[in-house]
Chain A
Amino acid sequence: EVKLVESGGGLVQPGGSLRLSCAASGFSFSDHFIHWVRQVPGKGLEWVSRFIGDENSPTYADSVKGRFTISRDNAKNTLYLQMNSLRVEDTAVYYCARDHGSSWDCWGQGTLVTVSS
């Protein structure tokens, strides 16, 4: 079964840091784009970042560029999102999603990040 499981969310103060994880199973991790996407509760979906499996070429939304860093551990089939200098507007549910030929066919359950003092 193809599966993605996010973890690492929680409550953090503005200016703080968190690292999210996305554990993949049931498919070849390095053969797929994996995206981070976020959703403010009750609002729409916003793409955050992408990491190409076999290349070191991440891309980021302008809203997080310079603050967020995507990385991976192939041995653990896990994708990470290091989030620094967090802002109140980064509060959202963060999902990872598998890209399967330009559509995203598998999503994790999401992890909630709350940035508040």
Chain B
Amino acid sequence: DIQMTQSPSSLSASVGDRVTITCRASQSVSSFLNWYEQKPGKAPKLLIYAAATLERGVPSRFSGSGSETHFTLTISSLQPEDSATYYCQQTYSTPPTFGQGTKLEI
């Protein structure tokens, strides 16, 4: 199985800050890397797919980059509603696997 490792596991930031979350894969996943946002008591929501493509309806302050084994999710100007846990996911091979999550507090 491909292991996905996110860093940091948690972070605290302020409104207007720029934050970056990193996701590393134990082997290449090409660009089969997705990012999800999950708020307490809610299902995950797709933010970014194919490493860098913004899902329809997601604010443009979210962006993704990377390929192979190293990926980043950047939020350019934090808003209060961005307080959530963020997960990366690889769908390059079965089983699809997730990172352990990054809890972002605003």
Chain A residues near B (Cβ < 8 Å):
35, 44-47, 50, 59, 61, 95, 97, 99, 101-105, 107-110
Q: Can you sample 9 A-B contacts with CB below 8 Å?
A: A45-B44, A46-B98, A50-B94, A102-B34, A103-B46, A103-B49, A104-B34, A107-B44, A109-B43
Q: Smallest CB-CB separation from B46: which chain A residue?
A: A105
Give the number of chain B interface residues (Cβ < 8 Å).
Answer: 22
B50 touches A105 (CB 8 A): no
B98 touches A103 (CB 8 A): no
- Select which of A59, A61, A101, A107 is within 8 A of B43 by beta carbon: A107
B97 touches A47 (CB 8 A): yes
Contacts of B36 in A (CB 8 A): 104
Q: What does DSSP make chain B's interface, helix, strand, loop or mixed? A: loop
Chain B residues near A (Cβ < 8 Å):
32, 34, 36, 42-46, 49-50, 55, 87, 89, 91, 94-101
Contacts of B34 in A (CB 8 A): 102-104
10 other A-B residue contacts (CB within 8 Å) besides A44-B87, A103-B91: A35-B96, A44-B98, A44-B101, A45-B101, A47-B97, A102-B32, A103-B55, A104-B46, A107-B44, A109-B43
**In the complex the two chains form, what is the Cα distance from A110 to B100 in whole Å?**
19
**In the complex the two chains form, what is the Cα distance from A108 to B60 in whole Å?**
25
Contacts of A109 in B (CB 8 A): 42-43
- Select which of A46, A47, A59, A102 is within 8 A of B49 by beta carbon: A102
A105 touches B32 (CB 8 A): no
Smallest Cβ distance from B63 to chain A, in angstroms? 16
Q: Smallest CB-CB separation from A109: which chain B residue?
A: B43
